[in-house]
């Protein structure tokens, strides 16, 4: 049932009222760990519900739920450590020009965060996912706009998180949940919402981003919108291991029925015999991949129409034809095209440079390095960019460094001799990229995702007795900080 404007207002106000209950970092960390424990304990019930709504399968969903629990525990560890507060203390220095007063800086929570769930990850990028976990870790209550593809799962997970909150005296309103398109619009406009996180389409994300910017008081909007995730395969790499690369590409582009945000959607592969070997390996592997179910019929219709439109373009071939499977499934496949068709702007082939959600990729066959450079120069921002190099190129010979330099401006994560599907939850992870991959420079995966929901505050010449304990000289909380120019752990 879709939430009314009044119900959205109630959810936001309840979340705002719960802000103080998250102030204690010890309580906050314990809440996150309890949430992880209860999710694990409810695994069978949650996976069954999610599978009924998404058809993603128990194996995939069980793994995703485990990832989600791990992520909550990882943020609990970050909260305990305290480095995310970014504490810096500088004492007065009259000899500096200009003189430096007593300055103490750290980060505080923004306030209520609106989270917009993703369709393709009912756990890891939805109600209990990275946006929610990182916002709660920052000390921000959350109101989630559930995705219409898994409303029952969203309700079940929200109830688990609320039970975890209650175990630690935190009001259940700390995690609000609303349903419906209009509710999502009302949410981003609410004056008590201080920031938003979104994972979804370019069209939907851009509309919400614009609404966030048009508010009387604009708010940060961290949106993940779409990505082509280009792959470059050098001629030397193809000569060395064409069959291995082709099989790896097939696994990556069909994983999860091609519904991962980092699915490789454009592959630059050499023309010639070695490239032919790669295409044959890809053909064999994709042909052996079963048809699968997309998350809803709208996505299925868009996929079938999108691949048909692309396949009709001049010089486009389909070694394995993607499209409709049975009544509810789609069959994986891929298209090939001369890279020269993509090297110049303004033609119908520009469609091949747009993401097509589902199990399909475009293999652009290039004749020389100049064509690779020309195609890359035309690409928008991406979440990931990948290069497959030969053993010699990986050791510093040839164009390896040059290709990395060409890919770095295009993406937030650059891979060598791997595949982008599979985004590890790790402190050094970055899941973001230049627009339209995301609307900001932050990450939605990994420990630094917490930074999105914080703002710095500096206290100047403030008496010690009035300072927050985090900023006092004697460091009563034992926090990592930069003190008088030296890092203290």
Q: Give 404-426 pLDDT, tens digit per residue.
A: 999 999 999 999 999 999 999 99
CA atoms within 13 A on the CB side of 310: 33
Instruction: List the domain boundaries for the chain.
Output: 5-225+441-482, 230-416
- Whether 346 has a pLDDT exceeding 90, the answer reads no
Two structure tokens written together for 170: 């935190």
Q: What is the CATH number of domain 5-225+441-482?
A: 3.40.605.10
User: Which residue in 326, 419, 264 sits closest to 55, CA to CA?
Assistant: 326
Q: What is the CATH number of domain 230-416?
A: 3.40.309.10
Q: Give 2-20 pLDDT, tens digit per residue.
A: 999 999 999 999 999 999 9
Task: Kindly report the three-state secondary structure assignment for every residue of 213-282.
Answer: HHCCCCCCEEEECCCCCEEEECHHHHHHHHHHHHHHHHHHHHHHHHCCCCCCCEEEEECCHHHHHHHHHH
Average pLDDT, stretch 455-482? Answer: 97
- Whether 1 has a pLDDT exceeding 80, the answer reads no
Chain position carrying tokens 């592959």:
267
The pLDDT confidence band at residue 348, using thresholds 50, 70 and 90, is confident
Residue 363: the pLDDT is 98
pTM of this structure: 0.95
Average pLDDT, stretch 22-40? Answer: 98
- Whether 326 has a pLDDT exceeding 90, the answer reads no
For all residues of the chain together, what is the average pLDDT? 96
Catalytic residue IDs:
224, 261
**Contacts with 395 (C-beta within 8 Å, 6 or more apart), sequence order:** none
Positive or negative, the CA dihedral 94, 96, 97, 101 is negative
User: Which residue in 93, 67, 98, 79 sits closest to 26, CA to CA?
Assistant: 79
Residue 266: the pLDDT is 98
Q: Give 167-208 pLDDT, tens digit per residue.
A: 999 999 999 999 999 999 999 999 999 999 999 999 999 999
- Whether 246 has a pLDDT exceeding 80, the answer reads yes
Provide, rounded to the nearest whole percent, the portion of the chain with pLDDT above 70.
100
User: Which residue in 165, 166, 119, 127 sits closest to 143, CA to CA?
Assistant: 127
């Amino acid at each position: 049932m879709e939430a009314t404007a009044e119900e959205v207002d109630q959810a936001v106000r309840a979340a705002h009222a719960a802000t103080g209950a998250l102030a204690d970092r010890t309580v906050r960390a314990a809440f996150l760990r309890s949430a992880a424990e209860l999710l694990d304990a409810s695994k069978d019930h949650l996976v069954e519900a999610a599978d009924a709504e998404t058809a993603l399968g128990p194996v995939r969903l069980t793994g995703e739920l485990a990832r989600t629990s791990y992520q909550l525990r990882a943020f609990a560890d970050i909260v305990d450590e305290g480095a995310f507060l970014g504490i810096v203390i500088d004492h007065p220095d009259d000899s500096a020009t200009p003189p430096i007063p007593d300055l103490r800086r750290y980060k505080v929570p923004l306030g209520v965060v609106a989270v917009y769930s993703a369709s393709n990850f009912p756990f890891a990028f939805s109600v209990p996912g990275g946006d929610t976990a990182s916002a709660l870790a920052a000390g921000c209550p959350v109101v989630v706009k559930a995705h219409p593809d898994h409303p029952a799962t969203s309700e079940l997970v929200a109830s688990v998180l609320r039970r975890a909150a209650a175990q630690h005296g935190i009001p259940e309103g700390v995690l609000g949940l609303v349903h419906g398109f209009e509710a999502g619009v009302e949410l981003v406009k609410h004056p008590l919402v201080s920031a938003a996180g979104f994972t979804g389409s370019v069209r939907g994300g851009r509309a919400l981003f614009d609404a966030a910017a048009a508010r009387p008081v604009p708010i940060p909007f961290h949106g993940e919108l779409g990505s082509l995730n280009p792959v470059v395969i050098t001629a030397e790499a193809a000569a060395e291991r064409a069959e291995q690369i082709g099989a790896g590409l097939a696994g990556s582009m069909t994983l999860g029925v091609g519904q991962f945000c980092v699915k490789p959607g454009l592959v630059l592969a050499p023309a010639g015999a070695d490239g032919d070997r790669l295409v044959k390996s890809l053909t064999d592997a994709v042909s052996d991949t079963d048809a699968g179910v997309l998350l809803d019929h709208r996505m299925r219709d868009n996929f079938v129409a999108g691949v048909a439109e692309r396949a009709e373009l001049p010089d486009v071939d389909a070694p394995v034809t993607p499209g409709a499977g049975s009544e509810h499934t789609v069959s994986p496949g891929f298209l090939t095209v001369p890279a020269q068709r993509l090297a110049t702007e303004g033609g119908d082939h520009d469609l091949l440079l747009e993401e097509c959600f589902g199990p399909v990729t475009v293999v652009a066959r290039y004749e020389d390095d100049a064509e690779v450079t020309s195609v890359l120069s035309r690409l928008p921002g991406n979440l990931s960019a990948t290069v497959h190099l030969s053993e010699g190129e990986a050791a510093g010979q040839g164009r390896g460094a040059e290709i990395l330099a060409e890919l770095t401006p295009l993406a937030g994560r650059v891979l060598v001799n791997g595949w982008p599907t599979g985004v590890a939850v790790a402190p050094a992870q970055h899941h973001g990229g230049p627009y339209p991959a995301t609307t900001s420079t932050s990450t939605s995966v990994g420990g630094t995702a917490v930074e999105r929901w914080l703002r710095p505050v500096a206290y100047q010449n403030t008496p010690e007795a009035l300072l927050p304990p985090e900023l006092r000289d004697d460091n009563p909380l034992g926090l990592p900080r930069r003190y008088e120019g030296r890092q203290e752990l």
